[in-house]
Amino acid sequence: MLKQSFEFSDFSQEAIKPISETIYSMLSGFSISSFVLGCSFPINLSDDEVSMLKHEFQFKLASAVEKNLSVPFDGELPDAEIIVDFNSSIVSIFIRSVYIEAKYNKFSREIAQTIFSCQKCRGRGCKECSFKGVSSIESVQELVAEQAMIFFQASGNKFHGQGREDVDVKMLGSGRSFVLELIEPKKRVVDVSELEKAINSFADGKVTVSSIVISSKQRIAELKESKARKLYLATVTCSSPPNHEVINSLLGKKIEIKQRTPNRVSKRRSDLVRERNCTITSVNILSSSVFQIELDAEAGLYIKEFISGDKGRSNPSISLLINADCVCSELDVLKISD
């Protein structure tokens, strides 16, 4: 939010010009197509006085701002929301974010989806994170937002994904949908095809994006609430050679699973037992103790824990079904259903 103080003495016609000029100066460099303006009048005024000022002073101030900016007052979906507070003599301006939607693929097992705060200082900044407050782990968010912020001349960003994969999991296939929110953008219209090229060049093969479009805030909730099934490829390593016939017998099976919140995420997730299902769509024996399976899984199933059993928190599990101690040594997302 932009903030700036202004000088004020009374609600005369002469007071309108300096306030409108302050607003014009604050919005210099911002490309906006509409605005809305409201006033917070002194708290010691009566309701009748406030009503009169809203009809006279506030209306004239909005008209002056409209003339200075050469953009219309529009309360439907304004690019800038202006509040003139006569109690604190401060103008506050909220610039509506720009939202871009796309899909990303991740080809590295060393990249997170979003920026990690430094675990030692929790984002405050310390020697371990070079006083940046963030982990040294690279992220999809950084690789995408670096160029997007340049194109839109934004002051910050937020990344909203359609779910997420772990750092060591590749995101293949047609990619995972996301919305990148660009905060306080000075530009609102860019060539998205050029932006896509710039991001992919900057990410240098570690991450690629496709199908960038200008989106809306509403899409964030829609992506978060979607229950898309996912197709995974999991490499399973067993502590001792299992029975290969038993492994092959899993092919085509739809498995109903009761899964308690995994230990590794229990600090940030409610401790619940969730019922999910998956179908083993292919089995490939790689060696005596290593095999691969493709799983068509319901949204919300923790694949690594389904394979290991997570000390009984996932029931059944691949370990239980083939009677061997198993771990997921590699995991790829092959497809996210539309």
- Of 106, 162, 160, nearest to 137 by C-alpha is 106
The residues that bridge with 98 in the sheet, in sequence order, are 182
- The domains of the chain are located at 2-95, 98-225, 230-336
* pLDDT value at residue 129: 67
- Residue 175 has what DSSP assignment? E
* Amino acid symbol at 60: K
In this model, does residue 138 exceed pLDDT 80?
yes
* pLDDT value at residue 110: 95
In this structure, whether the domain defined by 98-225 belongs to CATH 1.10.287.610 is answered with no
Residue 329 DSSP SS3: strand
Looking at CATH, the fold of the domain delimited by 2-95 is given as VC0802-like (3.30.2130)
List the structure tokens of 252: 């085509």
Q: Please state, in angstroms and rounded to a whole number, the distance separating the CA atoms of residues 10 and 164.
A: 55
The stretch 169-173 carries a mean pLDDT of 98
In this model, does residue 103 exceed pLDDT 90?
yes
The residues that bridge with 233 in the sheet, in sequence order, are 294, 332
Q: Architecture of 230-336 per CATH?
A: 2-Layer Sandwich (3.30)
- The pLDDT confidence band at residue 1, using thresholds 50, 70 and 90, is very high
Active-site hit among 10, 166, 191, 325 = 166
Condensed to tens digits (0 to 9), the pLDDT of residues 298-333 reads 999 999 999 999 999 999 999 999 999 999 999 999
DSSP state string for 97-150: PEEEEEEEEE--SSEESSPPBPTTTTTS--GGGTTSSB-SSEEHHHHHHHHHHH
Q: Do domains 98-225 and 230-336 have the same CATH topology?
A: yes
The mean of the pLDDT values for the chain is 94
What are residue 246's phi and psi, to 5 degrees? -65, -40
- The pLDDT confidence band at residue 24, using thresholds 50, 70 and 90, is very high
* Amino acid symbol at 205: G
Q: What is the value of pTM for the model shown?
A: 0.90
List the structure tokens of 15: 């007071």
Q: Known catalytic residue: 168?
A: no
Q: Please state, in angstroms and rounded to a whole number, the distance separating the CA atoms of residues 302 and 266.
A: 12
* 230 in Cβ contact with 320 (< 8 Å): no
* pLDDT value at residue 120: 72
